């Protein structure tokens, strides 16, 4: 049975800007992602000590989810095991892979660390968001060259159609060298009282993704 | 609702280059885990299940030039090639999707060039897709140690949704200094061959391997004993990014969702069973909470170690083999239960009629997955 779902909200973090549902909420002067991420963290008065232990991909996904879910009370709105996360990117965890490689490339200066190594998996950002927001349902991380709105809509729609999720965070979280980009969407099952910002269709997703 | 069947499969481990070769070695009591002295991987000797490079080169040279491909590529190509050659499905049309399951792909190339294009997992998947003339942009699933199970769940969903008719799912990971140093830093490598669920277990053995499963909606291309890949679910513990949940919450929810969706008496469980203290304990709690403590359960890790992103595919292939051939495989390395919630651990390979098997997996990031395979 088809269950309609809708885009409740979206948040993009890229080009040193944070945008929530077309509104520019923050623009940072920082040169590097880690400084920019700290700027966003302070600007939005986030208080979560674990943030500082996360790798760049973790921080990028965490901050976008934080801003996306603020004040939405998802935890009380849906059963926890029907809240899911599906993310995609192009370079997996290569940013942190390079950091781990630096710790083992010289036998005289050999210092591999579990605190770095655990982030050499792209899906750990999903774990971070789940821990913060108590999402217990589906988690999927897919790697693809470019953001693919059709695949996203097809995949997420069947999760709603089959009653596997009632609410889902989905989108693109990419960091590679100095380039970073996160565009996350909050998708919820349609209700009579809340219509969301737009229909969950590839053309809509693509148009939002292209609004830079 | 359309059903999804297994048409063909393959696994490559030190125990063999086909599913049948692996099964024969396992029944002969062999293991692929042995002591490795490779100073370019670790200053101290370690136990792992590694594929003999000379053997891989020899197998690959029969049909192509090995110099053109990486170690990862060669393993994946050998596995996919064997599976593809044993199905009558047409896999080059637009109704077929290739899915690669891996955690680290060609990660060993990072040692020499940190910007090598082949480090990008989508690029590796595309090379494999083009090698076999598959249509469509391939998909890469990278969900830590549940990747393989998750890739099969994804393939089943995409076929059931009518988006494709066939999915070729390959799971591959290699072991290099990158992965070994990381697991060493976690102090999770065992001092001998791993001993899943055993009282004396002290860690996992890493393994490398490749496995392939071909899923289809067409039962006519699936031999006499038809095996269905049923629905599966993934969950998150929402608890810790590297430590298993002390209550087994995420895995328990995944199993509960599966049993609610498909109410069956489970005949056999293929556990994750890495042989770390915390993983096996967590699994025993989750299975007990789900009321499955009497169901025969094994871990395949004692045969070929923890093959990471390949594990879910390789172990599903061997679970399907168990159903097809009515065999329960021994839990290699196990002798005396060492989990607080006792399970019915398979401690000898025996003939047994098995109508279905639940495959479970858990991994870093707090992820868990469960899927059911059953005879039609």
In tens, the pLDDT along B5-60 reads 999 999 999 999 999 999 999 999 999 999 999 988 988 999 999 999 999 999 99
Chain A contact present for B152, CB below 8 A? no
Nearest by CB to residue B238, choosing from A110, A120, A130, is A130
Tell me which fold the domain B228-375 belongs to.
Peroxisomal Thiolase; Chain A, domain 1 (3.40.47)
Domain ranges of chain B: 5-221, 228-375
pLDDT for residue B124: 98
pLDDT at A1: 59
pLDDT at A185: 98
Q: How does the average pLDDT of chain B come out, rounded? A: 97
Q: Which of B206, B195, B205, B199 shows the shortest CA–CA distance to B331?
A: B195
Q: Put residue B238 in one of left, alpha, beta given phi > 0 → left and psi -120 to 50 → alpha.
A: left
Distance from CA of B233 to the nearest CA of A (A): 7
pLDDT band of residue B151 (cuts 50, 70, 90) is: very high
Average pLDDT score over residue span B239-247: 96
Helix spans in B169-231 (H) = 177-185
In this prediction, residues B98-104 reach a mean pLDDT of 98
Interval B314-367: pLDDT, tens: 999 999 999 999 999 999 999 999 999 999 999 999 999 999 999 999 999 999
Which chain A residues touch B99 with a CB distance below 8 Å?
Answer: none
With beta carbons less than 8 A apart as the criterion, state whether B244 and B264 touch. Answer: no
Mean pLDDT over B61-80 rounds to 98
Kindly determine whether residue B236 and residue A136, on different chains, have CB atoms separated by under 8 Å. yes
Q: How many structural domains comprise chain A?
A: 1
- The domain of A174 spans 5-210
CATH assignment of the domain containing A38: 3.40.47.10
Residues with Cβ within 8 Å of B284's Cβ and at least 6 positions away in sequence, in order, are B197, B248, B293, B339, B340, B341, B342, B343
Q: Which residues from A are below 8 Å from B137, CB to CB?
A: 144-145, 148
**Would the pLDDT of B121 be above 70?**
yes
Any idea how long chain B is?
A: 376
CATH number of B5-221: 3.40.47.10
Q: What percent of chain B has pLDDT over 70?
A: 100
Q: What's the confidence (pLDDT) of residue A195?
A: 74
How many contacts does A have with B, using Cβ atoms within 8 A?
161
| CB contact at 8 A, B363 and A124 | no
By the CB < 8 Å criterion, does B224 face chain A? no
Low-confidence ranges of chain A (pLDDT < 70): 1
Cβ contacts (< 8 Å) between A143 and chain B: which residues? 120-122, 125, 140-142
Backbone angles phi, psi at A113, to 5 degrees: -130, 135
Q: Residue B313, Cα to own-chain centre: how many angstroms?
A: 3
What average pLDDT does range B232-255 have in this prediction?
97
Fold agreement between B5-221 and B228-375? yes
pLDDT, tens only, A131-149: 999 999 999 999 999 999 9
The pLDDT tens digits of the residues spanning B295-319 come to: 999 999 999 999 999 999 999 999 9
Q: What is the DSSP letter of B329?
A: P
B155 interaction partners in chain A (CB closer than 8 Å)? none
């Amino acid at each position: 049975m088809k269950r309609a779902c809708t885009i409740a909200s979206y948040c993009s973090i890229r080009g040193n800007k944070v945008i929530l549902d077309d509104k520019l909420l923050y623009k940072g002067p920082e040169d590097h992602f880690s400084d920019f991420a700290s700027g966003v963290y302070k600007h939005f008065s986030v208080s979560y000590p674990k943030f500082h232990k996360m790798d760049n991909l973790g921080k990028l996904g965490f901050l976008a989810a934080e801003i996306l879910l603020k004040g939405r009370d998802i935890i009380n709105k849906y059963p926890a095991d029907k809240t899911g996360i599906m993310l995609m990117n192009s370079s997996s965890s290569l940013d942190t892979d390079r950091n781990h490689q630096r710790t083992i490339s010289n036998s005289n200066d050999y210092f591999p660390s579990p605190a770095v190594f655990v982030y050499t998996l792209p899906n750990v950002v999903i774990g971070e968001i789940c821990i913060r927001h108590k999402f217990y349902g589906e988690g999927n991380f897919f790697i693809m060259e470019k953001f693919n709105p059709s695949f996203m809509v097809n995949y997420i729609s069947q999760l709603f159609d089959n009653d596997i999720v009632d609410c889902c965070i989905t989108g693109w979280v990419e960091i590679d060298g100095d380039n970073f980009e996160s565009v996350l969407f909050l998708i919820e099952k349609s209700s009579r009282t809340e219509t969301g910002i737009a229909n969950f269709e590839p053309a809509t997703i693509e148009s939002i993704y292209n609004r830079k | 609702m359309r059903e999804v069947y297994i048409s063909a499969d393959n696994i490559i481990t030190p125990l063999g280059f086909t599913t049948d070769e692996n099964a024969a070695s396992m029944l002969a009591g062999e293991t692929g885990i042995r002591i490795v002295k490779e100073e370019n991987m670790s200053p101290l000797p370690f136990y792992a299940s590694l594929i003999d490079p000379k053997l891989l080169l020899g197998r690959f040279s029969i049909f192509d030039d090995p110099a053109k491909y990486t170690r990862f590529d060669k393993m994946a190509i050998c596995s996919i090639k064997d599976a593809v050659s044993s199905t009558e499905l047409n896999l080059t049309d637009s109704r077929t999707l290739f899915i690669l399951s891996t955690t680290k792909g060609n990660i060993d190339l990072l040692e020499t060039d940190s910007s090598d294009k082949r480090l990008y997992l989508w690029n590796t998947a595309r090379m494999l897709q083009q090698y076999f003339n598959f249509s469509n942009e391939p998909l890469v699933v990278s969900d830590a140690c549940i990747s393989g199970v998750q890739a099969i769940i994804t393939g089943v969903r995409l076929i059931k949704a009518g988006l494709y008719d066939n999915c070729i799912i390959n799971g591959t990971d290699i072991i290099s200094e990158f992965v070994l140093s990381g697991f060493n830093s976690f102090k999770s490598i065992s001092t001998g061959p791993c001993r899943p669920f055993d009282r004396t277990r002290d860690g996992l053995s890493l393994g490398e391997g490749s496995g392939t499963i071909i899923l289809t909606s067409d039962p006519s291309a699936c031999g006499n004993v038809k095996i269905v890949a049923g629905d599966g679910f993934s969950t998150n513990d929402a608890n810790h990014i590297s430590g298993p949940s002390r209550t087994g919450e995420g895995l328990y929810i995944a199993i509960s969702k599966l049993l609610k969706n498909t109410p069956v008496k489970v005949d056999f469980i293929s556990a994750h069973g890495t042989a770390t203290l915390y993983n096996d304990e967590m699994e025993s709690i989750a299975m007990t909470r789900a009321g499955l403590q009497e169901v025969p359960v094994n871990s395949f890790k004692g045969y070929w170690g923890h093959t990471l992103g390949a594990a879910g595919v390789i172990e599903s292939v061997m679970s399907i083999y168990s159903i097809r051939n009515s065999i329960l495989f021994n839990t290699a390395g196990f002798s005396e239960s060492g989990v607080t919630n006792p399970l019915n651990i398979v401690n000898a390979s025996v003939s047994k009629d098995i109508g279905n098997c639940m495959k479970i997996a858990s991994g870093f990031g707090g992820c868990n997955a469960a899927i059911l395979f059953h005879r039609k």
